[in-house]
């Protein structure tokens, strides 16, 4: 399970609206039906309490770091603003030495400043605007930012915005899970996985959760957002 992020609401909202009906869609495939029977109901929940701006800052902080290191750096960063994410104008006012003292690299500082400026410019939406945008509209908008790729936005779509039909085809764990379920010799290419999973719309976020579970069976699981290792894959950030 993802570690709780300090400064965010930890009250869990309702699961995705369709989450209890996913077996009807995913179960059309006998192999996936077997996985559902073995693992049980999908426990994926979205809406972790963060705004898109906060989720982006958290994701950038955690890049290429193990969970504890990422949380320590994030904690020091948020301590600059009384334990919460600083508003974008406040973040832009911090001198580089102050941010470096938190443990942030020069590249991450540039990326986080870019996110802050993009929030002020209206590129990074608030919750209400994000709710009006499609998944692809959000991806197209946010991948223009330094240090933000398609996979990062997809994780935000799933775990911050609660979008039910996201298939992160570039995710190694998802591809490894599909390889295991389908008894393949090698993981599918992203293009192949995208085509193979189209029929599971509109519940591909739940499918990804099951594939993460399959890939993590029998070994520790690395949190895809922070790198934190635990005995089970994510239910939410």
Question: Which alpha helices (H) appear in the chain, and where do they start and end?
Answer: 22-26, 30-39, 52-62, 67-79, 88-93, 96-100, 106-120, 127-132, 135-142, 150-159, 172-181, 190-197, 204-216
Placement of tokens 């039906």 in the chain: 33
**In the Cβ-directed half-sphere of 132, how many Cα atoms lie within 13 Å?**
4
Mean pLDDT of 196-203: 96
At 17, the pLDDT band (50, 70, 90 cuts) reads very low
pLDDT value of position 13: 40
Q: Which of 13-17, 123-127, 147-151 has the lowest mean pLDDT?
A: 13-17
Domains of the chain: 19-46+165-230 (1.10.1670.40), 52-159 (1.10.340.30)
Least confident range from 3-17, 70-84, 86-100, 112-126: namely 3-17
Please compute the mean of the pLDDT values over residues 121-145 and round it to a whole number.
Answer: 97
Q: What is the pLDDT of residue 20?
A: 52
Give me 139's structure tokens.
């991806």
CA pair distance 102, 74, nearest whole angstrom: 8
d(CA 199, CA 2): 28
> Is-catalytic flag, 171?
yes
Over range 116-129, report the average pLDDT. Answer: 97
Unique residue bearing structure tokens 């399959």: 214
pLDDT single digits (tens) 154-166 = 999 999 999 999 9
Taking CA atoms, 100 is separated from 61, 83, 107, 109, 115, in Å, by 12, 17, 10, 8, 17
Residue 26 has pLDDT above 80, yes or no: yes
Tell me, what's the pLDDT at 22? Answer: 82
pLDDT of res. 128: 95
* Phi, psi dihedrals of residue 196, rounded to the nearest 5°: -70, -25
Judged against a pLDDT cut of 60, whether residue 12 lies above it is answered with no
Burial of 113 (0-12, 13-18, 19+ CB in 10 A): middle
Q: Would you tell me the crossing angle of helices 172-181 and 190-197 to the nearest 10 degrees?
A: 60
Higher pLDDT, 232 or 84: 84
Residue 49 pLDDT: 85
Which pLDDT score is estimated for 23? 84
- pTM equals 0.82
pLDDT computed for residue 218 by the predictor: 63
Choose the catalytic residue: 29, 48, 165, 171.
171
In whole angstroms, what is the distance from residue 212 CA to residue 146 CA? 27
Residues 6+ away with beta carbon under 8 Å from 181: 31, 32, 35, 211, 214
CA separation (Å) from 71 to 11, 77, 102? 19, 10, 11
**How far apart, in Å, do the first and last CA atoms of the chain sit?**
7
Q: How many CB atoms lie within 10 A of CB 65?
A: 19
């Amino acid at each position: 399970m993802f570690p709780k992020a300090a400064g965010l609401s930890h009250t869990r909202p309702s699961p995705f609206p369709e989450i209890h009906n996913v077996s009807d869609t995913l179960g059309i495939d006998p192999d996936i039906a077997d996985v559902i029977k073995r693992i049980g109901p999908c426990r994926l929940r979205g809406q972790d309490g963060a705004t898109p701006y906060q989720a982006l800052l958290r994701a950038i902080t955690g890049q290429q770091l193990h969970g504890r290191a990422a949380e320590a750096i994030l904690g020091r960063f948020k301590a600059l603003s009384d334990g919460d994410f600083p508003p974008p104008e406040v973040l832009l006012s911090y001198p580089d030495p102050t941010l470096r003292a938190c443990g942030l690299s020069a590249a991450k500082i540039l990326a986080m400043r870019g996110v802050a400026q993009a929030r002020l410019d209206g590129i990074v939406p608030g919750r209400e605007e994000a709710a009006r945008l499609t998944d692809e509209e959000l991806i197209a908008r946010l991948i223009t930012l330094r240090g933000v790729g398609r996979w990062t936005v997809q994780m935000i779509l799933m775990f911050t915005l609660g979008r039910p039909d996201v298939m992160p085809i570039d995710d190694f764990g998802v591809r490894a899970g599909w390889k295991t379920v389908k008894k393949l010799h090698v993981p599918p290419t992203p293009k192949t996985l995208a085509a193979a999973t189209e029929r599971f719309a509109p519940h591909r976020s739940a499918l990804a959760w099951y594939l993460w579970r399959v890939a993590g069976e029998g070994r520790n699981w690395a949190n895809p957002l922070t790198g934190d290792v635990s005995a089970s894959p994510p239910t939410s950030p």
